[in-house]
Amino acid sequence: MRSFALVAFLSAVVAASAKQIVITVGANTTANASTIFSPAEVTAVIGDVVLFNFTQGNHSATQSTFASPCIPAHDTNATINGFNSGLRPTNNGTAITNLPVTITTNDTIWFYDIATCALGGVGGINVNESSTETLDGFIRNAIRLNGTATSTSASASATAPSGTGSSTRSSTSASATGGSNGADRAVVGALAALPMALIALVL
Q: How many domains does the chain have?
A: 1
Q: pLDDT of 76-122, one tens digit each?
A: 999 999 999 999 988 766 777 999 999 999 999 999 999 999 999 99
Q: What angle do CA 134, 83, 124 make, to 5 degrees?
A: 15
Alpha-helical (H) ranges within 133-189 are 135-145
Q: Flag whether 11 is in a domain.
A: no
Q: What angle do CA 125, 128, 131 make, to 5 degrees?
A: 145
Tell how far CA 113 is from the center of its chain. 11
Mean pLDDT of the region 171-187: 39
Q: How confident is the model at residue 56 (pLDDT cuts 50, 70, 90)?
A: confident
Strands (E), 29-113: 37-38, 41-42, 49-54, 58-59, 62-64, 88-89, 97-103, 109-112
Q: Flag whether 201 is in a domain.
A: no
CB 54 within 8 A of CB 45: no
Direct distance between the N- and C-terminal alpha carbons of the chain, in angstroms, rounded to an integer:
14
Q: Flag whether 200 is in a domain.
A: no
Q: Flag whether 3 is in a domain.
A: no
Q: Flag whether 193 is in a domain.
A: no
Give the CA distances from residue 189 to residues 48, 70, 117, 134, 170, in Å, rounded to whole numbers and listed in that order. 11, 27, 30, 27, 20
Q: Flag whether 129 is in a domain.
A: yes
Q: Flag whether 106 is in a domain.
A: yes
Give me the domain span that covers residue 49. 19-186
- pLDDT of res. 92: 65
Q: Flag whether 71 is in a domain.
A: yes
Q: How confident is the model at residue 147 (pLDDT cuts 50, 70, 90)?
A: confident
E strand or H helix at 20 = strand 20-25
Tell how far CA 197 is from the center of its chain. 26
Give the CA distances from residue 91 to residues 25, 86, 103, in Å, rounded to whole numbers and listed in that order. 13, 16, 29
Q: CATH code at 135?
A: 2.60.40.420
With a CB cutoff of 8 Å and minimum separation 6, the contacts of 120 are 32, 33, 34, 139, 142, 143
Q: pLDDT of 30-41, one tens digit each?
A: 778 889 999 999
